[in-house]
Structure 1
């Protein structure tokens, strides 16, 4: 899967996208036929124990991206650039994004966008780094905006559309719309020629993205706009509790779990 293949899906067929943060998960997501795998900065709160995405580092994303790409054959892998890894100094931004492609094996990068990322998107695409833009709720700005629905009035929705068009013109191959009204997302989708990928943005986007943890039912709950399609958390709880019971009761390890060396004289060991 290449950026041009994702772009060609706009208005033609749904685009599927999920997060993955490790090789085993990526292998399963890829085998299921998901179009894009996002190595999200959500690794911060879903894997690393942080309360938000803000502490995630370039090294965190690079390491996780490399693990995902090693296990992926078909899906387009995106590295989610973490807070302050881009947009401050252009040279540093390009170096950090380029590292994800050159060293970690990503197919492209995702940027939480604003006016400051239009020129960067243009520069990165000129250099051969595919860029997925991200508008609406951008969690890296939570200290400014809070984690609330965005583009809820005409003025804010208009600004979002302008930024979406600017990033498309700059070369972005797709656009994530997060936690915005469905009718605003539909308007952006109708206006752009690149695919929109919604998360809490209604059914009219060209595709959808969720965190794999919510999809498989690993989290204790899910966001109002999300859905658990499985119960991995329950299965893990049952398996771990059964292991503890097995060890404490003496049922594990059983004879079939052990090996006895024939001819070993254990008397010599005492």
Structure 2
């Protein structure tokens, strides 16, 4: 029987992790400020709280204990980092590991737009036994297939990619090419980027190993002039999460 395609949800709090576990997700990517920035590193206390929340959800053969993978991204913007920023990322990786995270999600590029192999080696070494996912920095690399070779050699477990498009649903051809190449490399391809449950059948058609989405909704809660204006905040929507699980055929989805 072919391996079931995994569901990963991007979450920002313990409640999101519980929802992910309830619908049968395999992993969460834990981050902060997702909608405003695309995601930055969460606090060490938040990592601890989400790891604790994931650990108390009963597991079964159909729905194993949820894995917590922590985004390590020191700021919004591009992926070319200064020595000071790399030092901060190394510290964040250590803190995530100490808190019990199963993996880290990161990426570093050179000024010419290639994988920064030297920086990545240091970051991967800091992760020790935790899995490393290379995030959508891949989508700004001119030759993602060549980058995939490099990342596999470095020991990266998987890449998160939209296939270079604004939304994964528009990057199907490149996703399929990455999947084809990954079969020779032993690295997973996870489709993500503006994914909705309705996009999942087409993404499955490319052969990806996993699908990643935020399944979030906004809560209106104006902070006033000193609290971010009328932006409110985001939470994981259980109905969207469940719809994604159903589209993937996950057994825990009800």
Task: Give the TM bin, normalised by the shorter chain.
Answer: 0.5 to 0.7
Which of 97, 106, 116 is matched with 1:111 structurally? 106
Match of 2:209 among 181, 206, 209: 206
CA distance in 2 between partners of 1:179 and 1:190 (Å): 13
Q: Pick the structure with more helix per residue.
A: 1
* Higher RCO structure (Cα 8 Å, ≥6 apart): 2
The answer for unaligned runs of 5 or more in structure 2 is 56-64, 165-170, 196-202, 220-236, 242-254
- Give the CA deviation at 1:229: 7.7
Q: Which has the larger radius of gyration?
A: 1
Kindly provide the CA deviation profile for residues 35-76 of structure 1, in whole angstroms up to 9, marking residues without a partner as x: 111103xx3154xxxx3347x4x4x44333222111012122
Counterpart-to-counterpart distance in 2, 1:170 and 1:13: 26
1:65 aligns with 2:47: yes
Q: Does residue 10 of structure 2 align to residue 19 of structure 1?
A: yes
Cα distance in 1 between the residues matched to 2:28 and 2:92 = 19
**Normalization by structure 1: what TM-score?**
0.58
Give the structure 1 partner of residue 181 of structure 2: 191
- TM-score, normalised by the number of residues in structure 2: 0.61
Contact 1:136 1:179 in 2 (8 A): no
- Which segments of 5 or more consecutive residues in structure 1 lack a partner in the other structure? 1-10, 139-149, 221-227, 233-270
Q: Return closer, same or farther for 1:20/1:231 CA change in 2, 3 Å cut-off.
A: closer
CA distance in 2, matches of 1:209, 1:137: 15
1:45 & 1:92 partners in 2: Cα distance?
Answer: 20
Query: Post-superposition shift, 1:173?
Result: 0.7
Count of residues in correspondence between the two structures: 184
